[in-house]
Amino acid sequence: MGVGNLFVLFSDSLVFASSEVLCRVYPIIDITISAPPGSMQFYPLILLSILPCCFAAGTLTVVIDLNEKFLDVMNEGFWIVKFYAPWCAHCKRLFPVWEHLGHAVNDKNLPVRVAKMDCTRFTSVCNSLSISGYPTILFFRQGLRLEYTGERSKEDLFNFVVKSSAPIIEKINAVRVNDVSLPLALLYSNSFSMAWRFLIQNTLEFFLEGLESWIMAERWPLMPRASGVNLRDLATTKKLLVLVISNEVRVIFIGLKARGAAEDLRKSQYLWSRYQFAWMDGADIVSTIVMNSMEAPNIIVLNYTTYEYFLNEDDPEKVTRGSLVTWLSNLADGTEKGTATPLGGRSLLTRIRRIIFELYMNVTQMFATQPLLSSVLFGMPIAFLSIISVCYLFFLTLFFGR
């Protein structure tokens, strides 16, 4: 075209190619330009078109923008993908977190590609993946698909990526025969005939059932952090949830007492099989459950399945490790015998009260955080209805007066 050694790339790749991406992939570009005499005035234009690319390369994103080609490669390797819509407020808040996640994964050299897809542009892809809400975060592991439902913080997302990309079964080479202290192993080492008498025949079925129930009951740490996202998962232990209501500043005071009580309960199989400890930052979720304004610090025992709960009558500020263990022990005996009376529940009347309370709390929170916007939002309809009512009364008086 009159300009020598000028190459144009037409890309049908997975990502949307841009000058920034091109400049990052090829940071050193050797361009030799030959042109007819008198065409030197075009050189500044060419340089001006290249320089912004190279200056922008220092702040490039490591998050891949996907298109419809993703369906062809989603089963190859590891992917974590955010499906979003530009108008979604939650998606906008997640954007900087997602960028930080991409850099964290890239810095650790994990074999995971961090990507995003605009579902308003590629509707067919999102429909084929059954994306119904935004944002939806999916991890693709060589044909398997995992949905992320945890906290949308960089730390939690990064931990999810690390765990999801790790080997399914980790090989442990440090275990030796002499380290095993089970009686059956000792009998087997001394007398094979005696060990055979104690052997369970259908071991596989028995082992799998017991292993699954044990993993579900013991999958959580001693006292994890609970939130609206993982509260349902905590309830899969089929235990009563001992929720310590506090905040990140004061959790050290009441949290240490509750953690000590959890350590004491762990020594008793009877008590540990009934309780799962957790702590919550703030009392908003618990206030909705009990339909009353609760303040931190506080402790509540919750049956998430039935929404029934028990409250400790002791002052949360004065509760001790020993008194907490005593209360939970008595509560376990009471629930076992049916003498403990729970509060709350899921009856029809209770559900209606809970809906009204949630509406009241949401409106109150709106006026507390955005008073001007809330006044306009609620004031305009009220003012409009008031004007209509006044006009209606005026015309009634005008035509049917006296």
Integer Cα distance of 278 and 262 in angstroms: 10
Asked if 303 contacts 342 with a C-beta cutoff of 8 angstroms, the reply is: yes
Per DSSP, which regions of 47-111 are E strands? 64-65, 78-84
Tokens of 30: 């050797």
- Among residues 91, 119, 126, 391, the one annotated as catalytic is 91
Residue 88 annotated among the catalytic residues of the structure? yes
Asked if omega into 297 is within 30° of 0 (cis), the reply is yes
Single-letter residue type at 267:
K
- Among residues 23, 53, 54, 88, the one annotated as catalytic is 88
Residue 91 annotated among the catalytic residues of the structure? yes
Q: What stretch of H or E contains 44?
A: helix 43-56
pLDDT tens across the length of the chain (402 residues): 433 333 344 344 344 333 333 333 333 333 333 444 444 444 444 444 444 444 444 446 789 999 999 999 999 899 999 999 988 888 888 999 999 999 999 999 999 999 999 999 999 999 999 998 889 999 999 888 988 887 888 888 999 999 888 887 666 555 554 554 544 444 444 554 544 555 555 555 556 666 777 777 777 888 888 877 788 888 888 889 999 888 765 666 677 888 889 899 988 888 888 999 998 888 888 888 888 877 778 889 999 888 899 998 888 778 888 999 999 999 999 988 888 888 988 888 888 888 888 788 777 777 777 778 778 777 888 888 888 888 888 777 777 765
Asked if 333 contacts 326 with a C-beta cutoff of 8 angstroms, the reply is: no
Stated pTM of the model: 0.52
Q: Are strands 78-84 and 136-141 parallel, antiparallel or unpaired?
A: antiparallel
